[in-house]
Structure 1
Amino acid sequence: MAAVTPVPVTLSKDKIPTKKNVRDIIGTFLTEEWPSVDPETLIVSYHASFANAHCPVERPRPATGTSTETLKVFIKFHHEGQGSLDVFKPLAPTKHGEALLCHEYGRTGLGAKVYGFFKTQDGTLGRIDEFLDARNMEPEDVENPIIRADVAKALAVFHVLKTPLETKAVESYYEAIIKGLRSYHKMDKLKALGKEGGVSIDKLVDYDYGRRLKNVVDKLESIGGKTGWCIHDIQFMNVMVKNNPKDGESKVTLIDFEFVMQNYRAFDIGGHFMQKMFKWFDEESRIANCRKYTEVEKRHFCDEYARQWNQLTGDSDTADQVFLESEYGYLLAITFDIHNMLCFMDEEDDKDPLNLLGLNKLFDEFVDQYARLNLEDL
């Protein structure tokens, strides 16, 4: 798995694979039945995104006998120039590193199995994963205590995962994002794009996140906030809820590890609480039509997280400690989203009013939480 396997495939200039391309890529790793599949019988659904492209691929069941290989897989294509924002490139994993991380997570039994990591003759890197019989998590799902507990335990497992990635100081992340946030501070172009989109974001753009984020980090350090491998992009689209989990099996699987770096565990925990309010790919509103995480639900989550963390590490952390950390992590996660959305605006001249309204909601959440935690006195 550690090696990149060359595949006898050359993608076209638009990088969209043909059915034969897909069959030949998969057949390099699943060698018993896939190589002889008629490409025209495959069901392929290709999707491009800002970060990567991917496609689920399904072959028909054999006419006779029992299939010895999976009928459906998930291919992820990593195209040059897409993916990590420039400010995070020195910290985020390479595409190969991300594939190795997915492989290690899959071995825990919580993630999708990785069949192989490939490189086409035109230089495109990609990965073939087990196809998960699952759906994207919806905000209402975490109101179910069983699903909520499984997300908490999955994050604890991930945070202490032994990975092949180089461990880089948490401080490096904050140096990078504070520098990035300062580059957008008071930027006239962003204000103009907001006005063109019909939604003023002047207050958000003029707000000094860098200074305040430093206060949050100092506070987390003072209370002994613990660190681990954080996902960062912890939006609900990156948590899959299994349709038919086996008895005793976790109901959720975490996906999309493009931004995995060392950080305070509070980032992912508080970020998970915050993301319940957003549906970033919804066509009608980026703001979810549901209630916030309640404090009772947050404390239940933190109790389940602490139990799993302690079991894996031998620590004796309390739910109260994890909850306190998460209150500051809520702010860390908001600044990550605000930074990335402002970067997208600047690079793509984005003025989608739904995105702008989502940005203002993030701003309001940051201001309210910052004041509630009395951080302005620091």
Structure 2
Amino acid sequence: MRFLLTTFAWPSHYYPMVPLGWALRAAGHEVLVASTPSLVDAIITTGLPAVAVGKDIDIAGRARDGKLHDHERWPTDPNRLNNVQQNLVKQMSHTMVDVADAMTDDLVRFARSWQPDLIVHESITFAAPVAAEVLGIPTVAHTVGMPFAPGMMVKKDGPALLPAYVRLYQKFGVAPRAAPSAWIDPCPPSMRMPGETTAPRLSVRYVPYNAPGAMPTWLIEPPTRPRVCITWGTSAVQMIGDAVTGLLSQAIEAVSSLGVDVVLSVNAATRAALGTVPDGVRVAESLPLHMLLPSCRAIVHQGGVGTALTAGIYGVPQLAVTQFSDQMTVGDVLAASGAGHHLLHDETTVERIKSHVVELLDDQECRKAAKRLQREIASQPAPAELVPNLVELAGRRASART
């Protein structure tokens, strides 16, 4: 059978789908990944074939212009957003519709030619359900592992579909698709927001893909001191520049004063933006986190869900220092679980970060909670176990076609 995976050009939204793509290929199915041109190289490095559709939208620029960071605490209940936060959600929604508009024509054209049996799409890649509706095939929305995803939960008196979203369908003479056939959700059950979903939820184990990398020789031997990882994701500097490096520099100063083995895991852009780092801080540029974290006693990070779940897999206590709304949600859920601590951007000082890391290293209850999260993630179905579900959905289309 043929499975089309699609996402907009943001690696952290594509990477959670990679293990499922591998599982489908290993089961003997055809898989292609469609995205706008700037993601094609990243797709190819994951070992899956790529096809470029549409044109790129400057999402990072819109984030900077829209001031999507450094705002007040974001409520975990999406029904309790204040007016400013509601406007930010609308702004982000319009950006995602613009991304879809830039992808849709080419995605529909390619799908008509390639004739997939099912489309698996990152949950806010709205071009995918348009193409699926045109072809009359099912879609499955794949979340990145957040406690909730836009459109996933059933809401009473929810807002009407955006007119711009409806127009994406009207262009092809089809009705808007309000929900997928199923949701694939790698978020551990204990971290999820309560509520009914708009379609059946297929739980899946979060399997980290943190880009390719080689094991450095220094990582082969166990550390002689407690090791603390500091990382700040792959896109924060691109989106908000110096507003990130200030917090990251505070974290580096705090942890490097503790006499622990400090590993700074960042990409090339973040490393360049930081400049000089203190003596004794080991810089591991573009080292996949799943290689590093098994040797760590704690991690300090920006609250990205991929980072948080990768740390969860290895039972590592976490400190999230957050600036964006989704990161704040992750930080709050981690803190509520007992597996980590959370500081907002406007609460941070070197001393406060230092104090939290000391607690993470010493607090046995936090370590036990981190191990509970580890066991919970491990208990979820592996991506390969979802393949029969997707084949069943795709089979409806294949049967109709033959």
Q: TM-score, normalised by structure 2?
A: 0.28
